Amino acid sequence: MAFLLSFAALIPLDNLGHYIQWHIIEISVANLIVMILMVVTFIVALVAPFPGRSRRKENR
């Protein structure tokens, strides 16, 4: 169980959240990071080569 707890200690969750404010927009840093990660994942999914794609094209 100590092994699992060591994972929990990687990110301290007991502190107050951090927020970014810009005019009427207020967003937590955690949510902003998730949104940026989604955009990055989307772009990478479009451009990253898929394993075996060239082999499948040859067999077509």
Partner 1 sequence: MSTSEIDRQWTTRLRRRVEGKLPPEKLLPDTQPTYVSSWIYVFGIATLSSLGVVIGTGCILALRGPQWWHGSAYGHFINSMHLWSVEIFFFAMVVHLWGKFAMAAWRGGRALTWMTGVVTFLVSIGAGFTGYVSQSNFDSQWISTQAKDGINATGAGAYFNVLNLGQMLMWHIVLLPLGAIVLTGMHVLMVRIKGVVPPFEEGAEVAE
Q: Interface with partner 1 by CB under 8 A: which residues?
A: 1, 4-5, 8, 34, 37-38, 41-42, 44-46, 48, 50, 52-53, 56-57, 60
- Give the nearest distance from C-beta 28 to partner 1 in angstroms: 14
Of 17 and 24, which CB lies nearer to partner 1 in the complex structure? 17
Of 25 and 39, which CB lies nearer to partner 1 in the complex structure? 39
Q: How many residues in the chain? A: 60
